[in-house]
C-alpha cells in the first residue's frame, strides 16, 4: 500500500510528458534538438510546447517524489559475484586474445597484456566470470512500486567482485538490455572499472560501447570480454616484475561509461563495486594489516562480515506513478530527494558492539556528501577513523568527524561501536549544504558550507546490539598502524593545464567539448613517464569532481596550498575541483598503452561533454594546454 501521492501541477505534467515524448523518440541529443529548432543559440530549450528549461525550472518545486518511510528496510548487501566453476570451459564461445567479432564480441582491439609481456600473463586468466546486463524489477522502498531498472544479473547496485592481486580475471559482459528504454537509457554499454591498472581495451573507454550501429563489425555485438590483470603499477617498468606494493588499491567500483549516455545508464542502475585484496588488506582481521573483517576461510566469494559497502545514490521518483524519474534536459546536475544506500531508500543496520570497516562510495549522479556520525541528541559529530581515500589506504588512519565525497569518490572508514551502550541509535547524517546540481554552497572564506546538526538528511540508521559473534581481532586505529608509504615522485616530463569551463550551456575542457565519436585524441602521454597537471575550475559557482583513468595521482597543492598532511596526503583518482580552484596533481603512466579519458564525474557534465581523450604511446607529445 503506497502512501499519499504527490500531485503535480498541469504545467509540470505537460512539460514532463512533452519531454518524455522527445526522449522516447531519441530526440534529446543536442544536435537533434538544434535540427528541430527546439534549442536556442544560448543552448536553452526554447519556450514552446511547454519544453522550456526555465518554464520547467519554475515548477520544479512540484518535482517531489512520493513520501516514503525511513528506516523500514534493513541495509542490503550486494551479493558477491562467483567465478565460473569450470573457467573458460563454461564460456561459449571460448574467449580469445583477438576480438571475436564474428562470434558476437564488441571488443575492437586485442588483449595487449597477453601479447606484450612474454609469459607474464597466461591466457586464459585464472578466474573467469560471466555477467548479464538486463532489465529487472527492483524494490527500493516498501512505499514505492517495484522499479524497472537496468541491472547486472538482476541486481542494482550489481554484484560485488572480490579480486586478488596476482590473480588475473576475465569478465564476460553480456548485453541483454531491452530496446524499449521506458523513457531513458540507451541499450549500448561500455563497462568501466574505476580505477584499476587496466589495459585500455578492457578499461571501458566511453567510445568502446557495444553494440555500435556505426561500426559494421560490432553492430550486432552481444558481449565484451574484459581482462582485469589485478597487477600493481610498475610491474613492467619501475618495479619489475610484480609492481610497487605502495600502489595497491582496495575499494573500486564499476559502472557504465557509454559516451553521452553515462548519466542515464548509471541512473537506471548500471553500477556496482569491486574489492581488491592482497597479503596486507586481506579481508580478514586476523591477518595482514588487521583491518576489520571476517572472511569465510573456505569461501573467498562469501561476503566479508564487518567489512561493509555503503553505495550512496540519490534519485527522484515520479510524484504520481512512483516510477524512477530522470530529467534529460537538465545538464546542470540532477539532485534526487530520496537517498539510497546499497539500492534501498534510507535503510537501517543492526551492528555488533565492535569495530567495522565501511567502504563509503558516492555513486552519483551529481550530489556531494558530507557525512557525520550522530545520535541526533547530545553527540552530533562523533569521531571515527578514515583509513582510505578513493581506492587507496592512507599511510596511517586519521581521526575525523566527517567525510566529504564528490561523485565517484570512496572513503573507507572504521567505526568502533563498542563505545556505545546496547540499544544506542546512531545515524549517518549528510549535512552538506547543496541545493542544486552546481555543487555545494560555499561560505565566504571556506570552500563548503554545512547545515546545522540535525538539519541534514539521515541516510542510514545504526542500531547497536549487545552481542559479538566474532571477538574483535582488528587493530585499534588509535594505535596508528602503518599501511602503505606514498610512492616516490620523480620530476615530471611536462606540466599541462586543463581548464574546466562552461560555455553556451555546454561543459568543456580547454574550450573543447568531447565528440560523440570519441575519436579526437586531445593529447598523448609518453608511456612510463611522469607528468604534472594543473586542474583549474573556470566555471564560476560550479564544482567538478574530476576523474582521470588508469593510475592514481597525488594532490601536490590545493589552490596554492601545499598538501603535506591530512586525508588528502594520499593517492587518489577523483579530485574535487571546488569553486574557483587551481589544483596541481602528479601522475605516472606505466606499463600499458592505449586510449583513456579524463572527465568530470558529475554524470551530467561528462555527458555534455566535459571530457578529453588522452592516449598513452611510446613518444607522447608536448602540448601544455591541450
Ligand atoms: Cu562537473
Cα–Cα distance for residue pair 308/318, rounded to 1 Å: 31
Length of the chain: 626
CA of 19 to the centre of ligand 1 (A): 24
Mean of pLDDT values over 172-184: 92
CA of 610 to the centre of ligand 1 (A): 7
Taking a C-beta distance cutoff of 8 angstroms, is the pair 308, 358 a contact?
Answer: yes
CA of 342 to the centre of ligand 1 (A): 24
Supply 623's cell numbers.
602540448
Nearest to 512 by CA among 619, 621, 610, 421: 610
CA of 605 to the centre of ligand 1 (A): 5
Supply 554's cell numbers.
597525488
CA of 510 to the centre of ligand 1 (A): 14
CA of 210 to the centre of ligand 1 (A): 26
CA of 266 to the centre of ligand 1 (A): 16
Nearest to 150 by CA among 172, 129, 173: 173
Please list, in sequence order, all residues whose beta carbon lies within 8 angstroms of the beta carbon of residue 160, skipping any fewer than 6 positions away: 78, 79, 80, 81, 272, 273, 274, 275, 303, 309
CA of 298 to the centre of ligand 1 (A): 44
For residue 596, CA distances in Å to 525, 540, 612 come to 10, 27, 8
CA 313 distance to own-chain centroid: 10
CA of 399 to the centre of ligand 1 (A): 29
CA of 236 to the centre of ligand 1 (A): 34
CA of 601 to the centre of ligand 1 (A): 6
To which H or E segment does residue 357 belong?
strand 355-362
- Ion ligand 1: protein residues whose beta carbon lies under 5 Å: 544, 600, 602, 605
CA of 331 to the centre of ligand 1 (A): 10
CA of 624 to the centre of ligand 1 (A): 22
CA of 161 to the centre of ligand 1 (A): 28
Residue 41's pLDDT is 45
CA of 599 to the centre of ligand 1 (A): 8
CA of 409 to the centre of ligand 1 (A): 14
Angle at 161 between CA 566 and CA 389, to 5 degrees: 5
Nearest to 308 by CA among 475, 77, 74, 73: 77
pLDDT more than 70, % of the chain: 89
Cα–Cα distance for residue pair 95/13, rounded to 1 Å: 49
Taking a C-beta distance cutoff of 8 angstroms, is the pair 454, 380 a contact?
Answer: yes
Nearest to 65 by CA among 260, 305, 346: 346
pTM, 2 dp: 0.92
CA of 537 to the centre of ligand 1 (A): 9
CA of 68 to the centre of ligand 1 (A): 30
Nearest to 394 by CA among 198, 552, 549, 279: 552
CA of 36 to the centre of ligand 1 (A): 28
Supply 132's cell numbers.
548479464
Residue 534's pLDDT is 97
CA 520 distance to own-chain centroid: 24
pLDDT tens-digit series, residues 375-417: 988 899 999 999 999 999 999 999 999 999 999 999 999 999 9
CA of 367 to the centre of ligand 1 (A): 11
Phi, psi of 88, rounded to the nearest 5 degrees:
-65, -20
Per-residue pLDDT band at 13 (split at 50, 70, 90): low
CA of 603 to the centre of ligand 1 (A): 8
CA of 371 to the centre of ligand 1 (A): 21
pLDDT tens-digit series, residues 343-357: 999 999 999 999 999
CA of 422 to the centre of ligand 1 (A): 43
CA of 418 to the centre of ligand 1 (A): 40
Residue 401's pLDDT is 96
CA of 480 to the centre of ligand 1 (A): 36
CA of 626 to the centre of ligand 1 (A): 19
What is the biggest distance separating any 2 CA atoms in the chain, rounded to whole angstroms?
Answer: 67
Would you list the DSSP string of 13-75? HHHHHHHHHHHHTT--SHHHHHHTT-B-TTSPBPSSTT--HHHHHHTGGG--PPP--SS-SBP
Taking a C-beta distance cutoff of 8 angstroms, is the pair 395, 387 a contact?
Answer: no
CA of 612 to the centre of ligand 1 (A): 13
Question: Is the confidence at residue 57, as pLDDT, over 90?
Answer: no
CA of 332 to the centre of ligand 1 (A): 8
Place of cell 609481456: 117
Residue 2's pLDDT is 40
Question: Is the confidence at residue 186, as pLDDT, over 60?
Answer: yes
CA of 262 to the centre of ligand 1 (A): 14
Question: Is the confidence at residue 34, as pLDDT, over 60?
Answer: no
Residue 42's pLDDT is 44
Residue 53's pLDDT is 47
CA of 142 to the centre of ligand 1 (A): 34
pLDDT tens-digit series, residues 588-626: 999 999 999 999 999 999 988 899 999 999 999 999 999
pLDDT tens-digit series, residues 277-308: 999 999 999 999 999 999 999 999 999 999 99
CA of 575 to the centre of ligand 1 (A): 11
List the beta bridge partners of residue 554.
Answer: 571, 586
Name the DSSP class of 213: T
Phi, psi of 90, rounded to the nearest 5 degrees:
-90, 0
Q: How far apart are the first and last CA of the chain?
A: 56
pLDDT tens-digit series, residues 132-154: 999 999 999 999 999 999 999 99
Strands (E), 418-570: 425-430, 457-464, 494-503, 506-509, 523-526, 529-537, 544-548, 553-558, 561-562
CA of 24 to the centre of ligand 1 (A): 26
pLDDT tens-digit series, residues 63-112: 789 999 999 999 999 999 999 999 999 999 999 999 999 999 999 999 99
Amino acid at each position: 500500500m503506497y502512501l499519499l501521492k504527490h500531485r503535480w501541477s498541469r504545467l509540470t505534467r505537460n512539460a514532463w510528458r512533452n519531454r518524455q515524448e522527445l526522449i522516447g523518440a531519441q530526440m534529446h541529443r543536442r544536435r537533434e534538438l538544434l535540427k528541430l529548432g527546439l534549442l536556442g543559440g544560448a543552448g536553452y530549450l526554447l519556450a514552446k510546447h511547454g519544453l522550456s528549461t526555465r518554464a520547467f525550472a519554475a515548477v520544479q518545486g512540484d518535482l517531489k517524489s512520493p513520501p516514503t518511510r525511513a528506516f523500514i528496510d534493513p541495509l542490503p548487501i550486494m551479493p558477491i559475484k562467483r567465478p565460473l566453476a569450470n573457467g573458460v570451459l563454461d564460456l561459449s564461445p571460448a574467449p580469445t586474445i583477438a576480438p571475436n567479432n564474428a562470434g558476437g564480441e564488441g571488443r575492437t582491439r586485442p588483449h595487449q597484456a597477453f601479447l606484450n609481456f612474454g609469459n607474464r600473463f597466461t591466457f586464459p586468466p585464472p578466474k573467469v566470470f560471466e555477467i548479464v546486463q538486463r532489465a529487472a524489477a527492483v524494490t527500493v522502498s516498501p512505499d514505492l512500486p517495484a522499479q524497472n531498472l537496468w541491472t547486472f544479473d538482476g541486481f542494482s547496485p550489481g554484484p560485488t567482485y572480490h579480486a586478488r592481486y596476482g590473480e588475473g580475471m576475465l569478465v564476460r559482459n553480456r548485453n541483454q538490455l531491452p530496446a524499449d528504454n521506458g523513457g531513458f537509457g540507451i541499450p549500448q554499454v561500455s563497462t568501466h572499472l574505476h580505477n584499476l591498472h587496466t589495459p585500455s581495451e578492457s578499461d571501458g573507454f566511453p567510445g568502446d560501447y557495444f553494440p555500435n550501429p556505426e561500426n559494421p563489425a560490432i553492430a550486432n555485438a552481444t558481449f565484451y570480454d574484459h581482462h582485469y590483470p589485478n597487477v600493481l603499477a610498475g610491474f613492467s617498468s619501475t618495479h619489475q616484475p610484480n609492481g610497487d606494493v605502495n600502489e595497491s588499491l582496495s575499494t573500486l567500483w564499476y559502472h557504465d561509461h557509454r559516451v553521452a549516455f553515462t548519466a542515464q545508464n548509471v541512473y537506471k542502475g548500471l553500477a556496482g563495486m569491486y574489492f581488491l585484496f592482497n597479503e596486507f588488506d586481506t579481508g580478514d582481521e586476523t591477518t595482514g594489516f588487521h583491518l576489520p573483517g571476517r572472511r569465510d576461510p573456505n569461501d573467498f566469494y562469501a561476503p566479508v562480515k564487518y567489512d561493509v559497502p555503503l553505495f550512496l545514490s540519490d534519485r527522484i521518483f515520479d510524484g504520481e506513478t512512483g516510477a524512477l524519474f530522470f530529467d534529460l534536459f537538465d545538464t546542470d546536475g540532477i539532485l534526487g530527494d530520496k537517498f539510497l544506500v546499497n539500492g534501498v531508500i534510507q535503510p537501517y543496520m543492526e551492528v555488533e558492539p565492535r569495530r567495522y570497516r565501511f567502504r563509503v562510495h558516492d555513486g552519483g549522479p551529481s550530489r556531494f556528501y558530507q557525512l557525520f556520525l550522530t545520535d541526533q541528541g547530545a553527540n552530533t559529530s562523533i569521531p571515527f577513523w578514515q583509513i582510505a581515500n578513493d581506492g587507496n589506504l592512507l599511510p596511517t588512519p586519521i581521526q575525523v568527524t566527517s567525510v566529504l565525497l564528490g561523485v565517484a569518490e570512496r572513503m573507507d572508514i572504521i567505526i568502533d561501536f563498542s563505545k556505545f551502550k546496547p540499544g544506542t541509535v546512531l545515524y549517518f547524517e549528510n549535512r552538506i549544504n547543496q541545493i542544486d546540481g552546481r555543487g555545494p554552497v560555499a561560505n565566504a572564506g571556506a570552500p563548503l558550507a554545512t547545515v546545522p546538526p540535525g538539519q541534514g538528511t539521515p541516510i542510514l540508521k545504526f542500531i547497536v546490539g549487545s552481542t559479538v559473534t566474532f571477538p574483535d581481532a582488528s587493530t585499534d586505529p588509535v594505535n596508528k598502524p602503518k599501511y602503505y608509504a606514498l610512492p616516490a615522485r620523480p620530476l615530471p616530463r611536462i606540466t599541462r593545464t586543463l581548464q574546466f569551463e562552461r560555455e553556451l550551456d555546454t561543459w568543456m575542457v580547454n574550450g573543447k567539448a568531447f565528440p560523440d565519436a570519441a575519436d579526437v585524441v586531445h593529447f598523448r602521454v609518453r608511456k612510463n613517464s611522469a607528468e604534472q597537471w594543473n586542474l583549474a575550475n573556470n566555471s564560476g559557482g560550479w564544482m567538478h569532481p574530476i576523474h582521470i583513468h588508469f593510475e592514481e595521482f597525488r594532490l601536490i597543492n590545493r589552490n596554492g596550498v601545499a598538501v603535506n598532511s591530512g586525508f588528502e596526503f594520499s593517492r587518489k583518482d577523483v579530485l574535487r575541483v571546488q569553486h574557483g580552484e587551481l589544483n596541481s596533481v602528479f601522475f605516472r603512466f606505466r606499463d600499458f598503452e592505449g586510449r583513456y579519458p579524463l572527465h568530470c564525474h558529475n554524470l551530467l557534465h561528462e555527458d555534455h561533454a566535459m571530457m578529453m581523450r588522452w592516449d598513452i604511446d611510446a613518444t607522447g607529445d608536448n602540448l601544455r594546454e591541450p
